[in-house]
Structure 1
């Protein structure tokens, strides 16, 4: 139950974030941001805990930044999904009851989805043998979750090494595989709002889309339905494999995905050097109208930023508004901010994500 004082505190914090984003974008005459809020609790689909020994017991633990000696012991985690909270005590009881599962276990990670799927990663300071797998198999069945065991140079999978998510955008349901160990959006409710905003901002187009940093195809799937065809790039092999599976699972066939960094694609488009991974791709056949970017926290490097300047429209999702503002400053002489948005992926923290549409002047 959300207390009125909690709702009021959240509203005040969200207003502060909105003011901070407006201040960052004020030099570029950006319009007022559209604001997409978060659930106040049970919004986080991923969680990672260290285990802290107290006598014969191990407890879920977290620490204040920079302090690894004073654990905060947890029985539940209200910001995490209901599925994580349901799994936490059952998993703890299992490792306490089984020497095979509990011996030298030091970290637990949960990955869940809005659709209720779950994967648990157990990390150990010891090699994992067949006895571990034989103990993990019935536990996975009881919990209704996949389990991955990890130790140095070793990985054992009971069930699947990914979870399946389902997100609805503009009335259509998109299905996603989200691999263990790969990036996925932590706040599913806000992610769905981000996808809807990007879908709306892109609009119905009769040209092509270039996407940089496509990850597992989170944005690629809905955006591909708005354009003629898409050229998407991603450097992580696990993310590329997940994106290819997601495209196939959703019957989307107008996307060409290449494993290149944004910097390498810039070199290819500038014809600085050829790449074997582009041997079957006719870059000159594309009629790009929009480039979509969702870069890491460092933002776009200067060369990639210059590459985006070629496009009439730049649709930019940012997990760091400070580097977003720095990139806009580089582009502001040729492009103006016509729409912007605040996505509160991380309520109760100072972090925020933003989106902007830049259009050629």
Structure 2
């Protein structure tokens, strides 16, 4: 067992090198310098998951290097985590080690926090959670001041709630979000705000209607809705769709519809390949789409979806994987040129790079 401390290193130099690599990778498609959005150098991660290493009757936070799952690195500090995560970590560990019921067969702890100061702690076990655990967990909630959720095989015990609430100020307006445990949320809050602001700026003069694929809980959808006459968004995750519907109501957005469809299904629907009952209340012919926003998973856009979005005058493409975005650009560059190009440093001190492209029809 080794002690591991996160090394924040020379952030400015690391980010400059990342931008240079990105510019070179995209040089076949644009001469633009990427707009670079730096992360805070510390306390930028709003969520974290730790394995629990048990030794000598004590629990420790731990992580493993890929391929070395029998060699844990004990986490004694986590400077990349939000200040709230760093505040809660030692308090949770002390409480767990003071309670045999909470500690026994605990193998993972997850923290979900927000820029607005909310938090949720999930404890995951290799045992059935009983009334004794519920009593101890309720006492833990009182001690920490934030809700605790328990998980084990085929069990999910929600003592208070299974979500956090976020408030993001973008420009002069604040947007409110429900973020559900286990569903996707942006891990770097300040970069999330930068991405939304960049997307709003890119869409400022678009007009017409917006189609968004992979909309999640409405993270981009809700702030962008004010730039368009109507918005239609799709998402395959039922949990995220339900959260998005609540977020629409919370923010008072009236020109936005969200439908639970995959990108492949929507492509079939808009091409009239097959009808979908989930679209029975949506008149696709009533939309005058000027812009499509895509924020796909790491695999990028499948060939059919890529061909479909190429028919739009403007494509806003947010990517967590430049390699697959570049693959898609081989096709999209035949019809569109890059008008804006951005680097969002979601994960500092790693090779990971997130990008934003505004593509405009030639």
Output the TM-score relative to the length of structure 1.
0.97
Is 1:76–2:77 an aligned residue pair? yes
Q: Is the 8 A contact 1:30 1:340 kept in 2?
A: no
Partner SS, residue 268 of structure 1: helix
Please tell me whether the aligned partners of residues 8 and 42 of structure 2 are also in contact (alpha carbons under 8 angstroms).
no
Query: Conserved in 2, the CA contact under 8 Å of 1:111 and 1:180?
Result: yes
Q: Please name the residue that 2:52 is paired with.
A: 51
Matches for 1:55-134 after TM superposition, within 5 Å: 55-134=56-135
1:167-222 C-alpha deviation (Å, 9 max, x unpaired) = 11121000111100001000001110011000000114431000000001110111
Query: Pairwise CA RMSD of aligned residues?
Result: 1.2
Structure 1 residues 1-361: aligned runs within 5 Å: 9-361=10-362
Within 2, Cα distance between the matches of 1:198 and 1:206?
14
Q: 1:67 to 1:163 in 2, by over 3 A?
A: same
Give distance in 1, aligned partners of 2:324 and 2:23. Answer: 14
Query: 3-state SS of the aligned residue for 1:349?
Result: coil
For 1:51 and 1:353, the matched residues in 2 are separated by 30
1:30 and 1:207 map into 2 onto residues whose CA distance is: 29
Q: Cα offset for 1:100?
A: 1.6
Distance 2:184 2:325 in 1: 20
Maintained 8 Å contact 1:293/1:316:
yes
SS of corresponding position for 1:327: helix
Q: Give the Cα–Cα distance (whole angstroms) in 2 for the partners of residues 31 and 205 of structure 1.
A: 21
Moved over 2 A (4+): none
Contact 2:209–2:228 (CA<8 Å) still a contact in 1?
yes
Shift of 1:30: 4.3
For 1:271 and 1:95, locate their aligned partners in 2 and report how far apart those are by CA, in whole Å. Answer: 56
In the other structure, the counterpart of 2:4 is none
CA distance in 2, matches of 1:6, 1:75: 15
Aligned in 2, Cα 1:117/1:6: closer, same or farther, shift over 3 Å? closer
Please report how far the alpha carbon of residue 63 of structure 1 lies from its aligned counterpart in structure 2 after TM superposition. 1.1
Instruction: Tell me how far 1:160 sits from its aligned partner.
Output: 1.1
Identify the range of structure 1 (131-140 vs 337-346) with the bigger mean alpha-carbon deviation.
131-140
Distance 1:211 1:280 in 2: 18
Q: Offset at 1:161?
A: 0.5
**Conserved 8 A contact 1:30-1:337:** no
In 2: Cα distance, 1:302 partner to 1:171 partner: 39
CA contact (8 A) 1:75 1:89 kept: no
How many angstroms apart in 2 are the aligned matches of 1:284 and 1:224?
19
Q: Structure 1 CA distance, aligned partners of 2:24 and 2:11?
A: 20
Secondary structure of 1:27's aligned partner: coil
Task: Find the aligned partners of 2:45 and 2:8 in 1 and give their Cα distance.
Answer: 17
Per-residue Cα deviation, 1:65-97 (whole angstroms, up to 9, x for no partner):
111111111232111001111111111111111
Counterpart contact for 1:75–1:88, Cα < 8 Å: no
> Is the contact between residue 237 and residue 260 of structure 2 (CA under 8 Å) also seen in structure 1?
yes
User: Structure 2: any 5+ residue segments left out of the alignment?
Assistant: 1-6
Q: In the alignment, is the contact (CA less than 8 A) between 1:297 and 1:320 conserved in 2?
A: yes
Name the CA distance, whole Å, in 2 between partners of 1:143 and 1:181. 21
The offset of 1:155, in angstroms, is 0.3
Identify the range of structure 1 (51-60 vs 233-242) with the bigger mean alpha-carbon deviation: 51-60
Work out the CA distance in 1 between the residues paired with 2:89 and 2:76. Answer: 7
Shift of 1:6: 6.1
Find the aligned partners of 1:209 and 1:184 in 2 and give their Cα distance.
22
Select between 26-35 and 220-229 the one with higher mean Cα deviation: 26-35
Give the number of equivalent residue pairs. 356
Change (3 A) 1:117 1:289: same
The answer (yes or no) to whether the contact 1:125–1:152 under 8 Å persists in 2 is yes
Provide the rounded CA distance (Å) in 2 between the counterparts of 1:204 and 1:144: 45
**Unaligned segments of structure 1, at least 5 residues:** none
For residues 296 and 30 of structure 1, what CA distance do their matches in structure 2 show? 26
State TM-score, norm by structure 2.
Answer: 0.96
SS at match of 1:136: helix
